[in-house]
Amino acid sequence: MQNVNHLEQLDRLSGLLATVSRDAAGTIRRVSVALLDVDPVGARAVLAEVKDRAATHRQIDELVPLTLVRQQPVASDLRLVLAGLRMNTELHRMDVLAGHIAKLVVARHPAQVVPPPVRPLIGAMAETTVRIADKSALCLATRDRIDALQLGLDDDELDVQYQRLFGILTDAWPYGVQAAIDVAMLGRYYERFADHAVNVARRVAYLVGGDLTRGVI
């Protein structure tokens, strides 16, 4: 009976993490659509869903010490629980960053945050970030270590896009300082969101016994 409960609690933790991870991927997709469509209603919906999800993040936080005390897990189960605590922090930060993008859309409306010359690049950064978030959520659901490795390549692509963005902003930019700062911050939000998603996937790799944890603090 003790063993059955043990599995149930760990399964619950894994299930909740897989859910918030899939939801975070959906959120970054929706906020990117709201950003490029200049849609404050969509942006406000994102802020609401992020706010709602904070309750699930707290639930995961509370499940961790409970599981440790009740089950005293060791070996791979203990690693799962500890990684879960930290993945939860990363997933929460992803929500906060998506919320920053949504707030920019709302604050600048009816003006657009993304002027025409950087629209294709911001669109590409959003696509790369959504792809990273989708793969990271899949890693959590399937515990597939290979996907975790491939994610590093997607993240390199995003870094290149981020650098190109600064090139455009600092070379004869005609939209003023405010727009430049907004776009630079947008770029940073996407880049940080993706970093967290990659970290989540790396923690999955750690769970399945890889040595990809180096540098992931």
Best CA proximity match to 99, nearest among 55, 51, 54: 51
Site residues for a second copy per CB under 8 A: 54, 57-58, 61, 64-65, 68-69, 72, 74, 78-79, 82, 85-86, 88-89, 92, 166, 169-170, 173, 176-178, 180-181, 184-185, 188, 214-215, 217
What is the token pair recorded at 6? 């043990």
Return the closest-CA partner of residue 188 out of 162, 164, 167. Answer: 162
DSSP 124: H
Closest distance between a second copy and the C-beta of residue 37, in Å?
A: 25
Q: Whose Cβ is closer to a second copy: residue 150's or residue 173's?
A: 173
Report the nearest approach of a second copy to the CB of residue 41 (Å).
26
Nearer to a second copy, 89 or 150 (CB): 89
Tell the smallest beta-carbon distance from residue 82 to a second copy (Å). 6
Integer angstrom CA distances of residue 79 from 62, 88, 128, 199: 17, 14, 29, 15
| In the complex, minimum distance from the CB of residue 65 to a second copy, in angstroms, rounded to a whole number | 6
CB nearer a second copy, residue 33 or residue 169: 169
Residue 205 region, left (φ>0) first, then alpha (ψ -120 to 50), else beta?
alpha
72: left (phi over 0), alpha (psi -120 to 50) or beta: left
CB nearer to a second copy: pick between 16 and 138: 16
